[in-house]
Amino acid sequence: MGRAPCCDKQGLKKGPWTPEEDEILVEYIKTNGHGSWRSLPKLAGLLRCGKSCRLRWTNYLRPDIKRGPFTLEEEKTIIQLHGMLGNRWAAIASQLPGRTDNEIKNFWNTHLKKRLVCMGLDPQTHCKSSTGSIAKSSASPSTRHMAQWESARLEAEARLSKESFVPSSSSLLSSSSSSPKNQDSDYFLRIWNSNIGESFRRSSKREEAMVVASQSSPISQTSTSIKCGSGVTIEVAVADPPEEVECKSCSRSAGGGDGVVVGGGGGGSSEASSSNEVEVAADEMEDLSEETSLRLLLDFPDPGSDEMGFFQGQMMMSNISLFPTLLNETSSY
DNA sequence: AAAGGTCCCAACCGCTCGATT
DNA sequence: AAATCGAGCGGTTGGGACCTT
């Protein structure tokens, strides 16, 4: 089906906005709200298309936009969220009040990405470019993110479910004294239930459809699922199914070939879990060491290793700041 | 001081999705 | 069910600002 252009481009202005145009747009939105972006330019008397007006407003003129350089805290947040979400700039921006997706995207592409590359890390996977398990190197970033999300979500839910039945001593304590693991799990669930999680679930559904389509295609990249020791099924897109991959949630190896092909996954917002065939026994989850469970949350390598040590931020409840080191290594921007 | 190169970011483009007709 | 619309998202780029030689 044809998609009509967003506007009739003839006679419409393009390029940088003038202060006069800005003023007209701001004044109009202040008094009338933006309403329909498509009709706004005409109503406001601007020779711009609605899309251009929307972008100008959301990326530049909105009163709540925060200007100025990114703080270290913001940088940390961006890196952490990018590790979880990939290039979902809008979702990342929603966690940084006053910052726009465009701004974050630019900042990532011009500063943070280079920084990771300089450190020998793949900016997409946040892993060392030349190393990593087969699963890490073979699975698409989004597939990896899906597995991470699903694993972490299930773990957090299992823990909360257990706590709701067995009031442990820790649950009687104040929140300030709850364990870091609890805080991290809760943190994860909050994100999962936020618009970030929603955004992720939506895109996961999309990916699932693509996986199914690719599987039905005679010439397609093989996508295989592998069940690990703790019962988590991992979807791995590979040219040739690996003999063995390491499960991110339990660090146990999982043999290839015996997995039943499943739809990709991630989309665990609800019933989707069953379609993913991801079954995790809560008691098995308890076997996970605290450290392991935290690592799986963000697919962290062993914190003891030099790999991704910089990635320890608020999510890890670590007091170690990696940024001074980072900043020393790279010139200011 | 001037020329050439690089960096940075505002804006555009094309695509997808959900809602509506 | 198909077509269309409106909105939003992520990738890309043009050109000004800044830096280096």
CATH number for the domain formed by residue range(s) A72-119: 1.10.10.60
- Taking the stretch 105-144 of protein chain A, residues with Cβ within 7 Å of any atom in nucleic acid chain C are 105-106, 109
| Nucleotide nearest to A38 in CA–C1' terms | C6
**What sign for the dihedral angle of Cα A86, A91, A92, A95?**
negative
Q: What is the pLDDT of residues A197-215, one digit of tens each?
A: 555 555 555 444 444 444 4
Q: What is the pLDDT of residues A259-290, one digit of tens each?
A: 333 333 333 333 333 333 333 333 333 333 33
> Which residues in chain A land under pLDDT 50?
1-8, 131-143, 147, 150-151, 154-155, 157-158, 161-186, 206-333
Chain B positions with any atom < 7 A from a protein CB: 7-18
Which pLDDT score is estimated for A211? 46
Domain boundaries defined on chain A? 19-61, 72-119
Chain C positions with any atom < 7 A from a protein CB: 2-13
Q: What is the DSSP letter of A175?
A: G
Which pLDDT score is estimated for A176? 34
Q: Could you give the count of Cα atoms lying within 13 Å of A83 in the half-sphere of its Cβ?
A: 23
The CA distance from A112 to A266, in Å, is 27
Burial tier of A184 (Cβ tally within 10 Å: 0-12, 13-18, 19+): buried
Output the CA–CA distances (angstroms, integers) from residue A48 to A7, A8, A44, A58, A244, in the order listed: 9, 10, 10, 15, 56
Which pLDDT score is estimated for A221? 36
Which pLDDT score is estimated for A145? 53
Residue among A240, A268, A270 nearest A256 (CA): A240
| Nucleotide nearest to A1 in CA–C1' terms | C3
* Packed helices A290-298 and A72-85: angle between N→C axes, nearest 10 degrees: 90
Which pLDDT score is estimated for A154? 46
Residue A133 · residue A246 · CB < 8 Å: yes
